[in-house]
Amino acid sequence: MNLPAQKPAWLKVPIPHGHGFEEMNTLIKGLGLATVCTEARCPNKSECWNCGTATFMVLGDICTRNCRFCAVSTQKTGRPVNKNEPQALAEAIHKLKLTYAVITSVDRDDLPDRGAEHFAACIQAIHTVSPETKIEVLIPDYYGTELETILKEKPDVIAHNIETVPSLQHIRDSRASLEASLRTLKEIKQKSSILTKSSIMVGLGETTGEILESMDILRLSGCDILVLGQYLQPTKQQVPVKKYYTPQEFDDLAQKAYEKGFLSVVAAPLARTSYHAQQSFPIQQVTS
């Protein structure tokens, strides 16, 4: 389809500003932390930071994978791991008085454990410094010992994204795949009662039928929470947008997702994995 010359009105966001934004920016820079809000050019940065929420990105700001939809810098080797990061992260969350924190990371295929131990140390530090804070982690496609390292720290939600429908998985780095992502989600459920979450970008050329099929695939893996958001081309180097979905189309997809059994669904043009993460946390959590 032919896209409009400009983004639809519902995709326009204000230039980041405001007291909350500046306070968050100062704190994050002062502690030497990175956020996916900045590194991935998230459109919700102004809204979230003014509300005192952010998605922290650990293990550096260089990713060892090169997905065709992502604006995060990529190289074969990431930056040296900052051993002080877990404590700095926990202190930031405590100072911000966050009741819900989202932690993600770049992929670190250059590390022996792909960064799992460091990721786990961050969760442990938050539990120690800010025990009342619920923790959601958006992890790489960990499995086996890597995943068990995360599970033992008992975050409240573990997210891992399949990113797009099966027919478009080629836009991900060749080391990523639908099969690997589903392995991670299934293994979490096999080994714990922790809530799982995944995200699908739309607007890359998929059909509605493919989106519904992807929902079914995720439900079969035990996925509890679903996020659907509009793909936005970060720069001209990434794959182009094929379609802009309307807010009504997102509402219709959300209804379909609830009918398929997801406990919680966030579906909106600017929805991202961590957007409204606290609100998407199911009130009635299933526990063992």
Phi and psi, residue 105, nearest 5°:
-155, 165
pLDDT digits (tens, 9 = 90+) for 95-146: 888 888 899 999 999 999 999 999 999 999 999 999 999 999 999 999 999 9
Is 8 within a domain? no
pLDDT digits (tens, 9 = 90+) for 167-180: 999 999 999 999 99
Is 269 within a domain? yes
Residue of 147 and 287 predicted with greater confidence: 147
How many CB atoms lie under 10 A from the CB of residue 215?
24
Does position 255 have pLDDT exceeding 60, yes or no? Answer: yes
Query: If we measure between CA atoms, which residue out of 47, 52, 58, 60 comes closest to residue 27?
Result: 52
- Give the Å distances, CA to CA, from 113 to 60, 118, 182, 218: 15, 9, 19, 26
pLDDT average, residue stretch 181-189 = 98
Q: Are 228 and 252 in contact (CB under 8 A)?
A: no
Per-residue confidence (pLDDT) for residue 44, from 0 to 100: 52
Does position 287 have pLDDT exceeding 50, yes or no? Answer: no
pLDDT average, residue stretch 34-45 = 52
Q: Tell me, what CATH number does 138's domain have?
A: 3.20.20.70
pLDDT digits (tens, 9 = 90+) for 233-251: 988 889 999 999 999 999 9
Q: How many domains, in total, are found in the chain?
A: 1
Give the lowest-confidence range in 37-46, 97-106, 192-201: 37-46
Per-residue confidence (pLDDT) for residue 39, from 0 to 100: 45
Per-residue confidence (pLDDT) for residue 274, from 0 to 100: 60
Is 288 within a domain? no
Is 2 within a domain? no
Per-residue confidence (pLDDT) for residue 92, from 0 to 100: 86
Q: Are 53 and 28 in contact (CB under 8 A)?
A: no
Amino acid at 145: T
How many CB atoms lie under 10 A from the CB of residue 179?
10
Q: Are 163 and 214 in contact (CB under 8 A)?
A: no
Per-residue confidence (pLDDT) for residue 234, from 0 to 100: 85
Distance (Å, whole) CA 248 – CA 269: 10
Q: Are 66 and 74 in contact (CB under 8 A)?
A: yes
Distance (Å, whole) CA 48 – CA 232: 18
| Average pLDDT value for the chain | 86
Per-residue confidence (pLDDT) for residue 262, from 0 to 100: 97
Per-residue confidence (pLDDT) for residue 40, from 0 to 100: 46
CA angle 213, 215, 218 (to 5 degrees): 110
Is 144 within a domain? yes
Amino acid at 196: T
Residue of 27 and 66 predicted with greater confidence: 66
- Give the Å distances, CA to CA, from 92 to 31, 95, 125, 130, 145: 8, 5, 11, 10, 29
Phi and psi, residue 55, nearest 5°:
-105, 110
- Between the two ends of the chain, the Cα-to-Cα distance in Å is 48
Distance (Å, whole) CA 109 – CA 9: 39
Is 168 within a domain? yes
pLDDT average, residue stretch 47-64 = 74
Domain that holds residue 153: 14-280
Per-residue confidence (pLDDT) for residue 67, from 0 to 100: 94
pLDDT average, residue stretch 245-258 = 97
Distance (Å, whole) CA 284 – CA 21: 32
Residue of 101 and 252 predicted with greater confidence: 252
Per-residue confidence (pLDDT) for residue 202, from 0 to 100: 97
Provide the pLDDT confidence category of residue 36 given band limits of 50, 70 and 90: low
Provide the pLDDT confidence category of residue 13 given band limits of 50, 70 and 90: low
Per-residue confidence (pLDDT) for residue 135, from 0 to 100: 94
Is 71 within a domain? yes
pLDDT average, residue stretch 68-89 = 92
Is 285 within a domain? no
Q: Is 105 helix (H, G, I), strand (E, B) or coil?
A: strand
Gyration radius from the chain CA atoms? 18
Per-residue confidence (pLDDT) for residue 257, from 0 to 100: 98
pLDDT average, residue stretch 38-48 = 51
